[in-house]
Structure 1
């Protein structure tokens, strides 16, 4: 499934300091798009941090989870699309769940973690 062409979608909403795992990530910008396809609505979400695209996830608005996702490395290369939602970990400035959120990491299909922001990638 190729990356969606967001030029064929209509902007739906944007979120500053978007959340992952229920935790707002300072500086993470999320843009959501919709497109009607027959009797269904296709949906796509593009996430960026510091002006750099980090990931895109897409599928259908009436489904709870995304069908496909792709992560972009710092060099601008989009990794191959994978089925389902991306594996994302919230990064923290220090140890412990009360440490300030400092970014996020997304696992690429190769298994490497692509980070946006600062902080160690969680081992889990």
Structure 2
């Protein structure tokens, strides 16, 4: 791996870490100034695979000349699953009302493949 690729990987890691830290800071700030509390804060860890999938999609998108290839679309859709699950837990959404979203996501995935 060249030093240019190492620098790009380092920049992407810094970008992801920066976004995560900003998000966590905003959550704590909202908690302090508004009556906002996350009962299921542990669900933030479910977001890690989503961020990884979105980051891989972004890398593939850039590598392929900013074209949405099948691999890019698969990574994006693969990141949506853990994102939705995390949001359900974080926002205390009832699974009984949200389950059709998963059928929709699967349908979108099948359309892109």
User: Same fold by TM (over 0.5)?
Assistant: no
More strand by share: 1
Structure with max Cα Rg: 2
Instruction: Point out which structure has higher relative CO (alpha carbons under 8 A, 6+ apart).
Output: 2
**TM, length-normalised to structure 2:** 0.29
More helix by share: 2
